[in-house]
Amino acid sequence: MKTAALSLALISTAAAQGATYPDLPVPLKNGVGGLIGTTVYAGLGIAGQKFYAMDLSRPERAWTEVAPFPDAARDQAAAAAVNGKLYVFGGLGKSTPDATTALFNQVHVYDPVTNIWTLLATRAPREVSGGAAVTQGDRILLFGGVNRNIFDGYFKDLAAAGSDKTRSDAVSLAYFTQRPQDYFFSRDLQAYHPATNTWQSLGVVPFSGRAGAAMNLTGTTLTVMNGEQKPGLRTAAAHQAQVTPAGVTWRDLPDLPPATAGQVQEGLAGAYTGHSGGALLLAGGTNFPGSTAQFARGALYAHEGLTKTWHGTVYALRGGRWTVAGQLPQAQGHGVSVQYGDELLLIGGETTGGAASAKVLSLRLQDGQLQTTD
């Protein structure tokens, strides 16, 4: 099927090419992943401590289980690959089965040559749980994430409330009725240098802190798209920076447009992102329709009474302008984005209702055509 606009090739795991991109052995959402050479890695999140690898250069592609993550299972960590190793930062979870949900601030590295994980003797200056990481040369850039004291405090208060519903409802009400800035989501752009195990501040961004934002780096161009500005409230804003040895300079991009004219774009959390066909893609994600209007009317508990919604729209950014490029086969978000040549791989995620997916999709803009191969 041809279109006059940008086009998107969606190659699903059920494609005519058979097991070109086989399903993961287990469902995966809120996990991490990365590409080392021609091998893609994915794990954590709902997969627990399990990690898997697939060599994309092999004629018969298949996932194989590698060494499990050596620490407590965790959601919403950040990960990036540098010099043949995969680095995993932070995340949230329980240190023991009986512990209260809390943030981790550790850094682990996986070496595929030895198939060994190592806990590094360092901590991120700012927590990155719910944040994002990208590779620039021999360093990793990290942005966003929730605040440890506020996040941990909320779950401690819930645990203290126990089965007392009146008390637990009061804890949740107090937590959700705060201004965006009162959650202290991270606004710091950090750089981690694996070779020296050191950190570098790249400054504070000129926009609000985010959790669940999509982040992409192409050359020296860093793009931060959407995300939560507070629990339950997304933003449609997008921003772009040039990250060079001379420093970091930011500019605002146009807001993400609505998928359909006349609708309100609530913004997206947990969207996939990557490049194809000369455009930057943003696909899928979740939000709470109506939260923007409720917040504008002064309701700090912006998503109260609203339903979390999963989306399948694919947007393309080219020449500083957003367009709707197409639709995913199903609405989904909160999976792993991996760039492989001119393809964007969407690994796992969650679908409508929060069900975890094991599917692997490949997105590609190609020759002015919108193609779906099955």
Angle, alpha carbons 341-346-350 (nearest 5°):
170
Give the pLDDT of the chain (374 residues) as one tens digit per residue.
333 344 444 443 333 333 379 999 999 999 999 999 999 999 999 999 999 999 999 988 999 999 999 999 999 999 999 999 999 999 999 999 999 999 999 999 999 999 999 999 999 999 899 999 999 999 999 999 999 999 999 999 999 999 999 999 999 999 999 999 999 999 999 999 999 999 999 999 999 999 999 999 999 999 999 999 999 999 999 999 999 999 999 999 999 999 999 999 999 999 999 999 999 999 999 999 999 999 999 999 999 999 999 999 999 999 999 999 999 999 999 999 999 999 999 999 999 999 999 999 999 988 754 333 32
- Contact between 90 and 102 under an 8 Å Cβ cutoff? The reply is no
The answer to whether the predicted template modeling score (pTM) of the entire model surpasses 0.85 is yes
In contact, 88 and 75? CB cutoff 8 Å = no
Return all residues near 51 (Cβ < 8 A) that are at least 6 apart. Answer: 41, 42, 43, 44, 65, 66, 67, 68, 69, 110
Q: Is 157 exposed, middle or buried (0-12, 13-18, 19+ CB in 10 A)?
A: middle
Choice among 60, 65, 127, 228 that is catalytic: 228
Domains of the chain from N-terminus onward: 9-373 (2.120.10.80)
Task: Return d(Cα 30, Cα 349) in angstroms, integer.
Answer: 7
Contact 125, 105 (CB under 8 A): no
Catalytic residue at 228?
Answer: yes
What is the pairing mode between strands 9-11 and 371-373?
A: parallel
